[in-house]
Amino acid sequence: MRTKNPWFFKLITTYLPILYVVVLALSFLFFMTLSDLSNKQTVKSNEAFTKYVTQRLDSLLENIDQITITEINTNNELQKYMFQKYDGESPYLLNSTISNRFSKIKMSFPMIHSIYFYRISDQSILSLESMHTLDRFPDRDFIVTEIEKPFSSYWTNKRQYKEFETQVSSVPVLSLVKKLPMFTSPYGILVINIDINAFQALLQDMSKQTVSYVKLFDKQENLLAASIGAGERDLYSLRSSVSGLEVRSGLKDGYEYGLLSELYSNWIIAGMILVLLATIGTIYLSKRYARPIDASVNRISDFFSKQKLDNTSRELLHFVDSAVDQIIDYANRYQSQSDTNMLYRKKHFFHELLDGDRDIDKVEYREEMKSFGLQPDGVEFAVFLVEIDRMSDFSQNYTYRDQYLLKFVITNVWDELAAEQDLKVWSEWMSAETLGVMFSSESRYEEVQSAQMIEIGEKLREWVETNLKFTVTIGIGTTLEQLSGIRKSYQQAKEALQLKTSIGNNRVIAYKETVRQTEAELFDLLELIRSITQLYKSGNEDWRKQFEYFFAVLGKGGHTSKEIINLINYMCFTFTKELSDFPAEYVEMWKQTALGPMTEALQIFETAEEIKQIYLSVLIQVEENWKGIRESRNNRHLIYQVRQYIEEHYANSDMSLQLLSEQFGMNKSYVSRIFKDEFGENFVDYLAGIRIQHAKQLLDNTQLPIQDIAVQIGYVHYFTFIRAFKKSIGISPSDYRKK
């Protein structure tokens, strides 16, 4: 007789025995190993926790040690103070500077309680807040003890510290002692005190989320700090190789790593409940999932019985095959449904149009524009670029959300202004500071369209300046036909924006109205830079007039930011090269006072006017410093007389060191040396420079033959003049006159 539900009985008679055997085996292994694993894990956990705490402490103390070493090696003021080499500098100012450096170290590490430096030579102590003498310093016993120790750098044990006798109580600290200079006879001791109370807070913070406590001991087994719940059963300890501190850990009070042994009965009850639930679940699921199979098997069996066929189970594979087919069909339909991001596609296509990365024909353009919901018509196109001025300030003054809202406002205002003029625009933010706008027009009135675009640009600029706390500069490309003209108009708009460095921020710059510099104008600027450098080098006050004229030329426009940067870089290079011949103290002052600020200004400036103010201030400061050095020397008046004589008699072909020595009653070698010291160049180069300057004036303002000019400025031989001029200017006198 055939069973009514064969698959159901097969499932439960197969899976239930397996379930019970597996549960019993796992339960046995579980209870046998869980306790042992728990104990071992507890010990390992404490070991890992102890190592972590030790590494954390070592890292903090090593960082303090490293920054101290760095400060020792780089702090020239500390070296001056230690060896009492003030070099004319105020001791009080030097002491204040060192105290400020100590304060910065303390601010970097909140654990630091105090810092002081003991100078052995005069037994003085410089701390964060005051100066002391050893006999009145409360920590003098510690200093006297430590100075006798042979070690140059080490951490002490726990001790008590107070800086003033008037303090009621002392503070427990751990001190880092460094004898300076290191590895030689010490001239002083640098002491950095770490507040032990900070260790308490640190240990508590690291252990509050764990079941482990942690305790900290110094090298003499003194307890420094302990987390809440610390017990006496330490499971693991580790001594630091950096500071000698020992870290111990264990389970907090109230926790026991044998806890599971007390919960075995609960585990057994819970296990039995789970087995019962698993049995009920197995029977229920077997009944549920076997019901359709049993129904199908019964129907197939009845069919085979009626047909007198072999009752096999191969037809059951048909159901599996059908299910697989359904899954494949679902996957194909899912794959065919591609949901693209419309905003991303729109912005990407906008970049392709402007950048010209690939050719886009009219058909593709129309289809894409329609898919974006934009008007595809247009026979003329132009590109606007709206750039936020001083983007670094904009990023600092506004959060990311505020920046997004402000950009959204600018875009909306732009669209409204264009709508008032019945112009079709498409705008997208191409970068953090630049909004790209593409105009399209169905008419061919280029002049009318250009005037409208400039008017819209001015309105937007004025609106932003009036209503927002920043400004924008707008570059406008020319109106061009065909899609291929979009890329050209975009490049023109970018080039127009580049001119804001010379023209200034908060402007509308139309490419068609810009005038670019010629090669001859560029040569004139390079020559002007060399002239400024020579005048500055010789101490001639006229360098300021030419400096002002140089930046006035830049301010007229026609120079992109890249061109201005190249010109300013050339100016820096020329100054540095020409002034390198000065005495070492002059060159060092130039490097320290001028070169750094001038280089830094190139990285942050936006307009030529900004960098002009920075450079002028720096050059004037260096000039004043050099004057101070020169006026402090005894031969200042003599130098002035010699220079005045040369400038008045430069055309004398017999001008030489011998003539000067006879004229002023000095040794020829002495005259040569003072020229090198005061002007950074030898007498021959100085005289040639003056003669070439006068030659340039004659070439610019007269039509005299070059041979006559050579004679007028003191050159007997024409070819000698040609060589000197070409060496100084880079081209021959005839080529200079042509340019």
Confidence grade of residue 557 (pLDDT, cut at 50, 70, 90): low
Whose CA is closest to 361, among 483, 180, 529, 203?
483
In a domain, 624, yes or no: yes
Separation of alpha carbons 425 and 414, rounded Å? 9
Q: What's the CATH number where 458 sits?
A: 3.30.70.270
Dihedral-angle region of residue 322 (phi above 0 means left; psi in -120 to 50 means alpha; beta otherwise): alpha
Q: What is the pLDDT of residues 219-249, one digit of tens each?
A: 888 888 887 777 777 778 888 887 888 888 8
Q: Tell me, what's the pLDDT at 7?
A: 62
CA distances from 435 to 386, 475, 493 (A): 5, 11, 12
Q: What is the pLDDT of residues 394-434, one digit of tens each?
A: 888 888 888 888 888 888 888 888 888 777 777 888 888 88
Domain count for the chain, please give it.
Answer: 3
Separation of alpha carbons 199 and 221, rounded Å? 16
Whose CA is closest to 605, among 395, 389, 398, 461?
389
Separation of alpha carbons 484 and 361, rounded Å? 9
Separation of alpha carbons 575 and 533, rounded Å? 6
Give exposure, 172-190, as e/b (b: 16+ Cβ within 10 Å): bbbbbbbbbeeeeebbbbb
- Greater pLDDT, 638 or 217: 217
Average pLDDT of the segment spanning 298-307: 56
Beta carbons within 10 angstroms of residue 273's beta carbon: 10
Same domain for 729 and 638, yes or no, is yes
Which two structure tokens, joined as six digits, stand for 676? 């090198």
Same domain for 474 and 524, yes or no, is no
Looking at every residue in the chain, the average pLDDT score rounds to 77
Same domain for 127 and 249, yes or no, is yes
Q: What is the pLDDT of residues 151-193, one digit of tens each?
A: 778 888 888 898 887 888 888 998 889 888 877 788 889 899 9
Rg of the chain taking only CA atoms, in angstroms: 43
Dihedral sign of CA atoms 597, 602, 603, 608 in order: positive
Q: What's the CATH number where 619 sits?
A: 1.10.10.60
Same domain for 544 and 494, yes or no, is no
Residue-level length of the chain? 739
Helix (H) or strand (E) holding 132: strand 131-133
Residue 193: φ, ψ to 5°: -100, 125
Same domain for 543 and 460, yes or no, is no
Of 449, 480, 513, which closes a domain?
513
Is the pTM higher than 0.85?
Answer: no
Q: What is the pLDDT of residues 660-703, one digit of tens each?
A: 776 776 667 767 777 766 666 777 777 888 888 888 888 888 88
In a domain, 74, yes or no: yes
Average pLDDT of the segment spanning 288-295: 67
Same domain for 438 and 555, yes or no, is no
Which two structure tokens, joined as six digits, stand for 214? 């942690």
Helix (H, G, I), strand (E, B) or coil at 738: helix
Q: Tell me, what's the pLDDT at 329?
A: 66
Confidence grade of residue 520 (pLDDT, cut at 50, 70, 90): low
In a domain, 291, yes or no: no
Whose CA is closest to 124, among 161, 154, 168, 94?
94
Q: What's the CATH number where 116 sits?
A: 3.30.450.20
The 8 Å CB, 24+ separation contacts for 652-656 are 652/714, 653/714, 653/715, 653/716, 655/687, 655/714
Q: Tell me, what's the pLDDT at 316?
A: 44
